[in-house]
Amino acid sequence: MTGLLRLEAPVISSVQGFAAGGGGFGLVCASDIVIAAESAKFLAGATRVAMAPDAGVSVTLSRLVGLRRAMSILLTNPVIPAAEALQMGIVTRVVPDAELAEASLALARELAAGAPKALAATKRLVWAGTGTSIEQCLSEEARTVAELSGMADAREGLAAVIERRQPVFTGR
């Protein structure tokens, strides 16, 4: 899961059916944005089969839902319906089953049209900042903003706002 967290591109998970164990639930917890079908269900499941959480779930889940709730989920293995997963912060959005593919593709297209370096930097800052103090994050944010402000995409983004048009980002 480290690869997903370090991947520069935003990771969108589109969940239909069950997301269980490290390969399913772990992937969801390591994703940047999660869109779930109304019928989707989530299950940690490790202790149910005499194992411990894997795929980083012991850390990512507690960062998403808080320590006490994560502990309860990991120890008792409830099957969590999509609506409840949304309330907990495990998923970003729940859509009707028939709209899952369309909603996921629309989001992917929206992100693909964004400034790749800015998206990558934002993702890195958010994941790295989870669990650290605001003071520790401020200098890294300032360094990142200074770096991005000198890029062509930043100039294009500002020009597009001033000219009231959609920006065309190149990743430079």
pTM: 0.87
Q: pLDDT in tens for each of the 172 residues of the chain?
A: 788 888 999 999 999 999 999 889 999 999 999 999 999 999 999 998 889 999 889 989 999 999 999 999 999 999 999 999 999 999 999 999 999 999 999 999 999 999 999 999 999 999 988 777 777 778 888 889 888 988 999 999 999 999 999 999 999 9
pLDDT at 140: 84
Q: CA 115, CA 170: separation in Å to the nearest integer?
A: 7
φ, ψ of residue 139 to 5 degrees: the values are: -65, -40
149: burial class by Cβ within 10 Å (0-12, 13-18, 19+)? exposed
* CA dist list (Å): 8 to 66, 121, 127, 158, 168: 26, 8, 12, 22, 19
pLDDT at 82: 98
pLDDT at 31: 97
Q: CA 24, CA 157: separation in Å to the nearest integer?
A: 36
